[in-house]
Amino acid sequence: MRHRKFGKRLNMGVAHRKAMIRNMLTALIEHEEIQTTDTRCKMLKREFDRLVTLGKKGTVHARRLAATKVFGREAVLKLFDELAPRYDGRPGGYSRIYKLGPRRGDGAPVSLIRLIPDDEAIPERTSKKAAAPEADVAPAVEADPSREPATEDPADPSREPATVDSDTE
């Protein structure tokens, strides 16, 4: 039983899974979008967000940690020089997953993982209290039986008389 175990195994060994994630992270940094299965996209999104957070730190230690997660010096340079400054003001969520539907052949659910464009606005964070509308509505007036409802004055000169169509009579 896998109680309290985090992550998916994806029917492969540890070394194979780590190599696959490193390959996919490198390809995502290089191409900025990848098409793969839903489960792999979810794993990749988590790892990529951690890498961008390392890139935003910008220290030598963060570069060395990132170098253990991706293949190639060019990927590390792009991560720290291009991608991390792009997401400098964003608190998280640097990639987005788009569901594409079932794969032809085996029917596996396929998704596209894409980096968030740098011109996309950052949504404002609101708490539940701030999101709830305040009670600016006037208090309900209880009906007083002694008061009669207001009626229109039939002798009001500003009121136009109703027109009668002669064809309908």
Query: The whole model's pTM is what?
Result: 0.70
Does the residue 67 lie in any domain?
yes
Total structural domains in the chain? 1
Does the residue 108 lie in any domain?
yes
Does the residue 9 lie in any domain?
no
Q: Residue 45: how many CA atoms within 13 Å on its side-chain side?
A: 21
Q: What is the pLDDT of residues 72-91, one digit of tens each?
A: 999 999 999 999 999 998 89
Taken in order 144, 146, 147, 152, is the CA torsion positive or negative? positive
What is the domain-level CATH number for residue 31?
Answer: 3.90.1030.10
Does the residue 154 lie in any domain?
no
User: CA-to-CA distance for 64 and 44, rounded, in angstroms?
Assistant: 20
Does the residue 98 lie in any domain?
yes
Domain that holds residue 34: 14-120
Does the residue 63 lie in any domain?
yes
- Residue 23, token pair as written in the block: 């390959």
The pLDDT profile of the chain, 169 residues, written as one tens digit per residue, is 889 887 788 888 999 999 999 999 999 999 999 999 999 999 999 999 999 999 999 999 999 999 999 999 999 999 999 999 999 988 989 999 999 999 999 999 999 999 998 777 777 777 776 655 655 555 565 666 666 656 666 556 565 655 555 555 4
Does the residue 102 lie in any domain?
yes
Report residue 65: phi and psi, to 5°.
-65, -40
Does the residue 114 lie in any domain?
yes
